[in-house]
Amino acid sequence: MSDKNYAHPEALVSTEWVSEHLADSHLRIVESNEDILLYDTGHIQGSVHIDWRSDLQDQTIRDYITPQQFAAVCERNGISNDTTVVFYGDKSNWWACYALWVFRLFGHTKVKIMDGGRDKWVAEGRHLTRAVPHFTQGHYAAQESRFDGEIRAFYDQALAQSRAGMALIDVRSPAEFRGEVTHMPEYPQEGVLRGGHIPNAASVPWKMAVKDDSTFKSVNELRQIYEDEAGLQPGQEVIAYCRIGERSSHTWFVLTYLLGYKNVRNYDGSWTEWGNRVGAPIERG
Amino acid sequence: MGKPRWGSDRERLKTAVYPGKLNQIIALFESLPDAEKRESLISYAAAAMKQGPRDGETFDLEDIRKDEECTDTVGVFLKVSPQRGCAFRITLGPQVQTLTKAMTAILCKGLDGLTPEEIMEVPADFVPKIVGAELVRQRSQTVYYILTRMKGIARVWLNRERSAAHGA
């Protein structure tokens, strides 16, 4: 990926690269999808399935699992602290980026995304298997706590960012940003009471970062979108949000790994928190 | 309008009986451990692409559209026999999710031959019995859509029949 001049080209690998590293014992390929049964219909040989909801989120409180629970997820998938994890999935890698971001929350830094995701792998006619791999249990030393402060934003921080007029980007569809709908096309209304966006947020839909085949655009194209048009600057503190944090994970990956921004946080509470919160300021239009 | 052949709502709630073919599918899924249940859903999903119209078939109603509730276009085709038995054919766009595909094949088989009135009476509470409560909880948006579309086309058929009767 060095030909695209990304800030961290090592974080993005091609389908071809993955196909050449299927037997690499230091690597674990992880599929993470919106379609919960898609992995079961066929997946990259040797890949494991980690579900963004049932594996990575607490099943009672709206939050992520504990570091100890994360260590257990890794160990049962044969992932140790020094394992490089390559994520891929459906929907242009939304959930793959989300899973990668959650891995980073737990301090796992050896992470990569397969550019183009599952759709590109399938479109290229590459092999899928239904055989579920079984690995020797990994040894994962859990971190003492999550790295929430570094890469995750909460309501109060997004509010402060909004009031200060600092960089805040809304990566949802334009209609969601304008408050015309409270959910993206093709998705049900999931109980958000108000539509609109966080005051002072700029609308930069996630999709602008990818080409038709779901691969990421070049660094020059990305700079034009995020810097020339949206007004972001490297070194700025940026908060990205969407509806539940999956599309903004995609943008978080773009800003962090492809453009090299060092202070980007994902507000995973996103619009399902903000649009329901009593008294939260909202702009429309 | 006839009473459903498998009993009233009250009787159904007491005995938890669904239309015959659907009941067999439900009973099978309820007997399976989670891993096999998942495997069966994958098998049904694979069969979903065979549920489309066959060459030469004609239909009383066709309803092809892309709704917000589903990730791709779904076409529902209904033929009602002189004995009022429904036959469904369904086409699915490539982006339709696997659970939706599985429910398509299950419902085409499970509701085959029921009258439009009976289709309208089929309760949605069988879905967790097939899919499992956990999958319904996690991905509820995908599992009820096809049943809603099938009931929708049955309702249109009944409305047209009613209109024709009034006009006659």
**Candidate from B45, B68, B70 with C-beta closest to A37:** B45
pLDDT tens by residue, B63-87: 999 887 778 899 999 999 999 999 9
Q: Contact B134/A54, CB-based, under 8 Å? A: yes
pLDDT for B34: 85
Pick the closest to residue B149 from B73, B57, B35 (CA basis): B73
Whether residue B116 is predicted with pLDDT greater than 70 in this model: the reply is yes
**Average pLDDT score over residue span A6-27:** 97
**Average pLDDT score over residue span A264-285:** 96
Pick the closest to residue B110 from B6, B7, B34, B3 (CA basis): B6
Active site residue A242: yes
Q: What is the CATH number of the domain that holds B48?
A: 3.90.1010.10
Which pLDDT band, with edges at 50, 70 and 90, does B2 fall under? low
Measured at the CA of A49, the angle between CA A47 and CA A55, to 5 degrees, comes to 145
**Average pLDDT score over residue span B81-106:** 95
Whether residue B1 is predicted with pLDDT greater than 60 in this model: the reply is no
Taking a C-beta distance cutoff of 8 angstroms, is the pair B86, B154 a contact?
A: yes
Provide the token pair at A220.
């020059």
Taking a C-beta distance cutoff of 8 angstroms, is the pair B112, B23 a contact?
A: no
**Candidate from A37, A41, A188 with C-beta closest to B141:** A188
Among B residues 102-121, those touching chain A with beta carbons less than 8 Å apart: 102
Taking a C-beta distance cutoff of 8 angstroms, is the pair B72, B66 a contact?
A: yes
A247 vs B6, higher pLDDT = A247
Whether residue A60 is predicted with pLDDT greater than 70 in this model: the reply is yes
pLDDT tens by residue, B152-166: 999 999 999 999 888
Amino acid at residue number A156: D
Whether residue B13 is predicted with pLDDT greater than 50 in this model: the reply is no
Which pLDDT band, with edges at 50, 70 and 90, does A184 fall under? low
Tokens 């830094």 — which residue?
A109
Residue B162 belongs to what domain range? Answer: 10-167
**Candidate from B38, B97, B138 with C-beta closest to A40:** B38
Q: Contact B68/A187, CB-based, under 8 Å? A: yes
> Does any domain span residue B2?
no
Whether residue A153 is predicted with pLDDT greater than 70 in this model: the reply is yes
> Does any domain span residue B25?
yes
What SS3 state is found at B27?
A: helix
- The β-bridge partners of A267 are A153, A241
Nearest residue of B to residue A119, measured between CA atoms: B95
Q: Contact A186/B68, CB-based, under 8 Å? A: yes
In this prediction the ipTM stands at: 0.78
Cβ of residue A285 closer than 8 Å to a chain B Cβ: no
What SS3 state is found at B30?
A: helix
What letter would DSSP give residue A136? P
Whether residue A104 is predicted with pLDDT greater than 50 in this model: the reply is yes
**Average pLDDT score over residue span A24-35:** 95
Give A243's contacts in chain B (Cβ within 8 Å).
Answer: none
**Average pLDDT score over residue span A106-126:** 97
Q: Contact B42/A40, CB-based, under 8 Å? A: yes
- The β-bridge partners of A28 are A85
Among B residues 13-42, those touching chain A with beta carbons less than 8 Å apart: 38-39, 41-42
The residue from A96, A100, A201, A242 that is catalytic is A242
pLDDT for B7: 54
- Give chain B's domain count: 1
Element (H, E) at B12: helix B9-15
The four Cα atoms B126, A91, A151, A156 give a dihedral, to 10 degrees, of -60
Provide the token pair at A13.
């690998």
Cβ of residue A59 closer than 8 Å to a chain B Cβ: no
Pick the closest to residue A263 from A242, A284, A232, A285 (CA basis): A232
> Does any domain span residue B60?
yes
pLDDT for B100: 92
Give B135's contacts in chain A (Cβ within 8 Å).
Answer: 36
Taking a C-beta distance cutoff of 8 angstroms, is the pair B45, A37 a contact?
A: yes
CA distance B148 to chain A (A): 14
Return d(Cα A58, Cα A61) in angstroms, integer.
Answer: 6
> Does any domain span residue B29?
yes
CA distance B56 to chain A (A): 31
Question: What average pLDDT does chain A have?
Answer: 94
Taking a C-beta distance cutoff of 8 angstroms, is the pair A41, A58 a contact?
A: no
Taking a C-beta distance cutoff of 8 angstroms, is the pair A205, A172 a contact?
A: yes
Q: Contact B38/A37, CB-based, under 8 Å? A: yes
**Candidate from B71, B138, B139 with C-beta closest to A186:** B71
A51-55, A180-184, A235-239, B39-43: which has the minimum mean pLDDT? A180-184
Q: Contact A37/B134, CB-based, under 8 Å? A: no
pLDDT for B17: 73
pLDDT for A185: 59
The residues, any chain, with a CB within 8 Å of residue B163's CB and separated by 6 or more, are: none
Return d(Cα B93, Cα A183) in angstroms, integer.
Answer: 21
Provide the token pair at B122.
């089929």
> Does any domain span residue B1?
no
Return d(Cα A6, Cα A257) in angstroms, integer.
Answer: 7
pLDDT for B125: 87
Pick the closest to residue A126 from A198, A273, A20 (CA basis): A20
pLDDT for B4: 60
**Average pLDDT score over residue span B49-54:** 94
> Does any domain span residue B5?
no
Measured at the CA of A48, the angle between CA A45 and CA A54, to 5 degrees, comes to 150
Q: Contact A188/B139, CB-based, under 8 Å? A: no
Return d(Cα A203, Cα B66) in angstroms, integer.
Answer: 26
A268-282, B9-23, B31-45: which has the minimum mean pLDDT? B9-23
CA atoms within 13 A on the CB side of A188: 11
pLDDT for B14: 47
Cβ of residue B73 closer than 8 Å to a chain A Cβ: no
Pick the closest to residue B68 from A196, A184, A246, A191 (CA basis): A184
Give A185's contacts in chain B (Cβ within 8 Å).
Answer: 68
Taking a C-beta distance cutoff of 8 angstroms, is the pair B19, B110 a contact?
A: yes
Q: Contact A54/B97, CB-based, under 8 Å? A: no
Whether residue A129 is predicted with pLDDT greater than 90 in this model: the reply is yes
